[in-house]
Amino acid sequence: MANEKEEKAEIERLRREINQHNYRYYVLDSPVVTDAEYDRLMKRLAKLEALYPELITPDSPTQRVGAKPLESFGTITHTIPMLSLANALAKEEAIDFDAKIKRLLDMPLNGQIEYVAEPKMDGLAVELVYENGVFIKGSTRGDGYAGEDVTSNLKTVRSIPLSLSPSAKALSTLIEVRGEVFLPLDSFKKLNSEREKAGEQVFANPRNAAAGSLRQLDPKITAGRPLDIFCYGIGSVEGASFQTHFESLEFLKKTGLKINPLVKVVTGIEAVLDYHGEIEKKRDSLNYELDGVVIKVNNFSLQNRLGVISRSPRWAIAYKFAARQEETVVREIIVGVGRTGALTPVAMLSPVIVGGVTIERATLHNQDEVERKDVRVGDTVVVQRAGDVIPEVSYVVKEKRPHNAKPFKMPDACPVCGAEVEKDGALHFCTGGLSCPAQLQQSIAHFASKRAMDIDGLGEAHVVQFVDAGIVKDVAGLYSLTKDDILTLERWGEKSAENLLDAIERSKHPALDRLIYALGIHGVGEHVSKVLAGAFGSIDKLMTADREALLNIREIGPEITKSIQDFFSGAENAKVIEKLKKAGVEFKEVKPIEKGVLSNKIFLFTGTLSEFSRDEAKARVEAAGGRVAQSAGKKVDYVVAGGDPGSKLEKAKTMGLKIISEDEFKTLLEAGALKTM
Ligand code: IVH
């Protein structure tokens, strides 16, 4: 079949092209195609591979994710041990290192050694093994002799090529590459804030996050964490040879592996010291953590002459940066009150400069955390910053504790409103509800926030101003604000007051799920709000839903059920809802989705829908028991085509899938409609 031959050739072509785009995007950071075009190529490849599964190779770009979870990790022995580095903590130690090398090599002290100076990334060391240019296995450093087999997880790291560049393939039959896997700082912050929101333990620093992510038994979890790598060396190699370390790095670069662009050849110790200073200055502008620079003798024959002592090479040293940990004293532990009333102890510190930034406070999270670290007022503590992450108290220097220091205890009354404090799990809560000014301010700020009612230009500082001045007493109060009210406050002018009032007016027609989310019911985040909107169709029905009805909804458990019922049974909340209605806030009704009406049906969306965001559409399908696919496939039951549909629609047509309009989708969501389709 000519067609078959063509398609097989296309598979090859697509792989080459996708690998090239991957390289441009993840290694060079300069993509030449749009994400949409990249997706198109990937989908085309996946489709062809589905037609010819026998042609799927382990290094195909489609094979990055998808490996099954493991029971435990296997072990991989390193052909050549992975050594560790001796440290230099001060300039003098770096100078000694250079002097010692010259002595060992019988060189005059005024001679100059050629070094390669590299950033020392703070992640975890791995070894990647390529056979005939194909990535076949990868492992952690472990004890230096053998590490864990994390091949499937490493495959999910986009900057690790699954096959080396074609020109390099021919040069080397086997190459073991060493490098540092790390989690970029922006991804680290995002991951931690997601974990915090989900009530999960946050990672202490990016290195722990990278290690935790790479050591997952389920590669799908690793795939969701955008790990990255910089390669810095070679273990055993066949078919290629190098005179210098720098040459070997240049080779790795040519093969398509990622090398830190700040690596530099420097001659003499003075140049090493300058490099250290330069990189330390750059440190805060980088999107990954560095803890120093690594200095390596460039010439391999000199390296061999110098050899190894107690598992560290004599030819290299880690010249560390000043620690980002400092000692200071806890002057006071104050207790903050959040939107939900949760109390957070915060250590107020004697100001101290940590890694160039003055630190005066650090969150202690909750009572359990304070007890675990046993932090007391008067204690000397070590505080640390990981990147520009929020500073934290690392540990207490117990020897320096004043003898009268008392253990911290959460107050019995809310420090802001005086209401009683209740304990729930690890957290303490103020029971004052919205009569507590702290809770009130934050609830209003939440209500107005972008993903809730989206009142443009109403920030937290303004809310504090309005609440303090007594002109807004609950969320509904925002809708009775007048220009005169606002103009009595500082920093407001005619124009800014008018803009705010316009924005408040514009917020009066929220989608039902946003309105539910805006109410700030404990445990009801954006997703749950969508599920509730889909299940009940109106605030009134949600308000009157009994326990049974709530528990009947997939994803809604007893805790959320209780919190919803508590919320609506509060007289204050019912009043506020009444007031919102009176103020003209539209309480939209949508047709509730009958549970299970789309049971096991798979939907694919393409183009823009006029009445739903993608998230909403997804939540509604899921609330009715269906699922949403990301790409066209045989299992898709309905392709919903919105305005300006993408290439998915074309593909769906060629595959003969059932295509429906947004209106038909809406009908389908209604109970019983399925039977007529
Ligand atoms: S070279 C014998 N180069 O630091 C040379 N290591 O204690 C061994 N690291 O385990 C490593 N950046 O995890 C080298 N540019 C770099 C590095 C680097 C980070 C880590 C690596 C190693 C540890 C050394």
pLDDT at 3: 83
**Sign of torsion, CA 5 8 12 13?**
positive
pTM score: 0.58
| CATH assignment, 97-320 | 3.30.470.30
Q: Is 504 in the pocket of ligand 1 (CB under 6 A)?
A: no
3-state SS assignment for residue 667: helix
Q: Is 313 in the pocket of ligand 1 (CB under 6 A)?
A: yes
- Could you give the CA distance from residue 180 to residue 122 in angstroms, rounded to a whole number? 8
Cα dihedral angle (434, 436, 437, 443), rounded to 10 degrees? -40
Nearest atom (ligand 1) to Cα of 120: 12
Centroid of ligand 1 to alpha carbon of 262 (angstroms) = 15
Q: Is 125 in the pocket of ligand 1 (CB under 6 A)?
A: yes
**Which residue's CA is minimally distant from atom 11 of ligand 1?**
84
Q: Is 118 in the pocket of ligand 1 (CB under 6 A)?
A: yes
pLDDT at 30: 85
Centroid of ligand 1 to alpha carbon of 654 (angstroms) = 52
At 234, list the tokens: 């070679």
Partnered with residue 100 across adjacent β-strands are none
pLDDT at 47: 94
3-state SS assignment for residue 315: coil
- Could you give the CA distance from residue 248 to residue 250 in angstroms, rounded to a whole number? 5
Centroid of ligand 1 to alpha carbon of 540 (angstroms) = 61
163 DSSP assignment: B
Residues 6 or more apart whose Cβ sits within 8 Å of residue 82: 125, 127, 141, 142, 144, 147, 178, 235
Give 325-424's CATH code, choosing from 2.40.50.140, 3.30.1540.10, 2.30.30.30, 3.40.50.970. 2.40.50.140
Residue 365 CB neighbour total at 10 angstroms:
20
Residue 147 CB neighbour total at 10 angstroms:
22
pLDDT at 294: 98
331, exposed or middle or buried, with CB in 10 Å at 0-12, 13-18, 19+? middle
Catalytic residue among 120, 258, 530, 666: 120
420 DSSP assignment: B
pLDDT at 611: 81
Nearest atom (ligand 1) to Cα of 260: 15
Residue ranges per domain, the chain? 2-63, 97-320, 325-424, 433-506, 512-582, 602-671
Centroid of ligand 1 to alpha carbon of 573 (angstroms) = 58
Beta strands in 39-113 (DSSP E): 75-77, 87-88
User: Which segments in the chain show pLDDT lower than 70?
Assistant: 1-2, 199, 355-356, 386-390, 595, 670-677
Nearest atom (ligand 1) to Cα of 84: 7
220 DSSP assignment: H
Give 433-506's CATH code, choosing from 3.30.70.1170, 3.30.565.10, 3.40.50.300, 1.10.150.20. 1.10.150.20
pLDDT in tens, 458-497: 998 999 999 999 999 999 999 999 999 999 999 999 999 9
Residues 6 or more apart whose Cβ sits within 8 Å of residue 603: 617, 621, 626, 627, 628, 629, 636, 637, 638, 639, 640, 665
Nearest atom (ligand 1) to Cα of 125: 13
At 24, list the tokens: 């441009």
In terms of residues, how long is the chain?
Answer: 677
- Could you give the CA distance from residue 578 to residue 539 in angstroms, rounded to a whole number? 11
pLDDT at 189: 87
pLDDT at 625: 77
**Contact of 501 with 559, CB cutoff 8 Å:** no
pLDDT at 675: 32
Classify strands 427-430 and 325-337 as parallel, antiparallel or unpaired. Answer: unpaired
Q: Is 233 in the pocket of ligand 1 (CB under 6 A)?
A: yes
Q: Is 316 in the pocket of ligand 1 (CB under 6 A)?
A: yes
Domains 2-63 and 325-424 belong to one CATH topology: no
Q: Is 78 in the pocket of ligand 1 (CB under 6 A)?
A: no
- Tell me if residue 581 is catalytic: no
